[in-house]
Structure 1
Amino acid sequence: SQGGGGGCAGTGLFPGPPPGGTQAGALLAAPGRAVAPAGSAPGGAGPAGRMWLRRRVLRPPAPPYGHVCQVGDPTLRARAAPVEPARVRGAEVQALIRALVRAMRRHGCVALSAPQVGVPLRVFVAEYPERLCAELPARERQARQVAPFPLRVFVNPAMRVLDARLVSFPEGCQSVSGFSACVARYQAVQVSGLDADGEPTTWQASGWAARIIQHEMDHLEGVLYIDKMESRTFLNLRWAELNE
Structure 2
Amino acid sequence: MGTANDHASPAERVEELLAVRGPLPIVAAGDPVLRRGAEPFDGQLEPALLARFVEALRVTMRAAPGVGLAAPQVGVGLRIAVIEDPAPVPEEVRLARGRVPQPFRVLVNPVYEPAGPGRAAFFEGCLSVPGYQAVVARHAEVRLTGQDEHGRPLDEVFTGWPARIVQHETDHLDGTLYLDRAEPRSLSSQQAVVGRWSQPTPERAARALGFELP
Residue number in structure 2 paired with 1:146 = 99
* Cα distance between partner residues in 1 of 2:9 and 2:127: 29
Equivalences for residues 92-171 of structure 1 within 5 A:
92-129=49-86, 133-134=87-88, 136-171=89-124
Equivalences for residues 1-244 of structure 1 within 5 A:
9-11=7-9, 13-15=11-13, 62-63=16-17, 66-84=24-42, 86-87=43-44, 90-129=47-86, 133-134=87-88, 136-239=89-192
CA contact (8 A) 1:83 1:156 kept: yes
Runs of 4+ in 1 over 6 A off after TM superposition: none
CA contact (8 A) 1:96 1:114 kept: no
Unaligned residue ranges in structure 2 (runs of 5+): 196-214
Describe the superposition over 1:62-111 as per-residue Cα deviations: whole angstroms up to 9, x where unpaired. Answer: 44671211111111111100111x45652332222111111011112111
Q: Structure 1 residues 112-121 or 232-241, which shifts more?
A: 232-241
DSSP-derived class of the 1:238 partner: helix
DSSP-derived class of the 2:37 partner: coil
DSSP-derived class of the 2:11 partner: coil
Aligned pair in 2 of structure 1 residues 14, 206: CA closer, same or farther (>3 Å)? farther
Describe the superposition over 1:179-218 as per-residue Cα deviations: whole angstroms up to 9, x where unpaired. Answer: 1010000010111212121211223110100011111111
* Cα distance between partner residues in 2 of 1:241 and 1:154: 30
* Cα distance between partner residues in 1 of 2:25 and 2:155: 29
Aligned pair in 2 of structure 1 residues 62, 186: CA closer, same or farther (>3 Å)? same
State the TM-score, normalized to the length of structure 1.
Answer: 0.70
State the TM-score, normalized to the length of structure 2.
Answer: 0.79
CA contact (8 A) 2:110 2:145 kept: yes
Describe the superposition over 1:110-161 as per-residue Cα deviations: whole angstroms up to 9, x where unpaired. Answer: 11100011101000110112xxx22x22111110110001111111112121
* Cα distance between partner residues in 2 of 1:191 and 1:90: 23
DSSP-derived class of the 2:28 partner: coil
CA contact (8 A) 2:141 2:163 kept: yes
* Cα distance between partner residues in 2 of 1:233 and 1:241: 14
Q: Which has the larger radius of gyration?
A: 1
- State the aligned residue count: 188
Share of identical aligned residues, percent?
37
Aligned pair in 2 of structure 1 residues 159, 177: CA closer, same or farther (>3 Å)? same
